[in-house]
Amino acid sequence: MIEGTRVKFREWDCIVQCHTYSTNDRLAISLVDANTGEPVAFATKNLEENIPKDCVMIKDYSENKGMVESLTNAGILEDTGIRIKTGYVELNLCRIVKED
């Protein structure tokens, strides 16, 4: 699984933490600093959109710019190319890459 995977996000060396959203049990992904354990970023956003079970919506704007690239480079996600508009921003719909 992706829990505990190391990821380089901007200037931080991070470790992936997985949670679930209480409203619909979808996967939630956050990054913590690999050295200090301090929170770095919350990668996912939970909307009431009907998305495939093996997908997540990634925040790749503002302070999270570069998140999709970081998680893709780490082999965690693949970008589907689908964008979901919410307010003034778009979320990237990404498929979770499963390990064999």
Predicted local distance difference test score (pLDDT) of residue 1: 74
CB neighbour class for 69 (10 Å; exposed up to 12, middle 13-18, buried from 19):
middle
Predicted local distance difference test score (pLDDT) of residue 97: 92
Predicted local distance difference test score (pLDDT) of residue 100: 37
Residues of the chain with pLDDT under 50: 100
Q: Are 31 and 9 in contact (CB under 8 A)?
A: yes
Predicted local distance difference test score (pLDDT) of residue 48: 80
Map out the domains of the chain as residue ranges. Answer: 6-96
Predicted local distance difference test score (pLDDT) of residue 12: 97
Q: Is 7 left (phi over 0), alpha (psi -120 to 50) or beta?
A: beta
Predicted local distance difference test score (pLDDT) of residue 37: 96
Angstrom distance (rounded) from CA 5 to CA 71: 10
